[in-house]
């Protein structure tokens, strides 16, 4: 019934506007859609990490929507280093309205279905502010890569010190 109710276009694609409206009205449908999308996203994340590992990548980054809401921070081993990119809601809403054409109602509904911003940022290992323009965000990304390189170096040095302590006679 839902499929015939306008959730799919005649070409078989999802009518996102109709789906969003239906999800706002029907919490059971919303949970069903979320569970399906989360399962598909999880599989793609697993595939991505495996590809990076098989390539021997020293660093890999992935944008993972709803990472904390899905409880994935407890699933991956080793746990990925999480970086939150914080943008104040008013600015994020304005950007989303301009770039994606989202209404304030849609933005509010999606925000309501997620963890509060402060909780998400508190769960991250590191937070980067995204209140400036794109060139400034690129600078911050370059700084992040350098910070991650230094953290990895510190971790290797600590592991080396631990091995020396373990293997050095007292």
What pLDDT, on a 0 to 100 scale, did the predictor assign at position 5?
65
| Plot region of 40 (φ>0 → left; ψ -120 to 50 → alpha; else → beta) | alpha
Its pTM stands at 0.73
pLDDT in single tens digits along all 170 residues of the chain: 445 567 888 788 888 888 999 999 999 999 999 999 989 988 998 899 889 989 988 778 888 878 888 888 888 777 788 899 999 999 999 999 999 999 999 999 988 988 899 999 999 999 999 998 889 999 999 999 999 899 989 999 999 999 999 998 87
Give yes or no for a contact between 60 and 49, defined as CB atoms under 8 angstroms apart.
yes
- Rounded Cα distance, 13 and 16, in Å: 9
- Rounded Cα distance, 170 and 156, in Å: 23
- Rounded Cα distance, 142 and 100, in Å: 26
What pLDDT, on a 0 to 100 scale, did the predictor assign at position 63?
82
């Amino acid at each position: 019934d839902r499929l015939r109710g306008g959730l799919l276009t005649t070409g078989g694609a999802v009518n996102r506007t109709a789906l969003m409206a239906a999800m706002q009205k029907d919490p059971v449908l919303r949970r069903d859609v979320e569970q399906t999308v989360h399962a598909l996203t999880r599989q793609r994340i697993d595939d991505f990490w495996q590809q990076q590992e098989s390539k021997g990548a020293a660093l890999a980054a992935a944008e993972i929507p709803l990472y904390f809401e899905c409880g994935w921070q407890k699933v991956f081993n080793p746990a990925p280093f999480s970086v939150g990119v914080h943008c104040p809601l008013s600015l994020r809403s304005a950007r989303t309205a301009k770039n994606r054409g989202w209404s304030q109602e849609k933005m509010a509904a999606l925000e309501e279905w997620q963890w509060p911003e402060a909780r998400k940022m508190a769960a991250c290992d590191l937070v980067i502010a995204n209140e400036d323009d794109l060139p400034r965000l690129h600078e911050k990304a370059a700084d992040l890569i350098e910070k991650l390189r230094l953290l990895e170096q510190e971790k290797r040095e600590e592991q080396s010190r631990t091995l020396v302590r373990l293997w050095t006679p007292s």
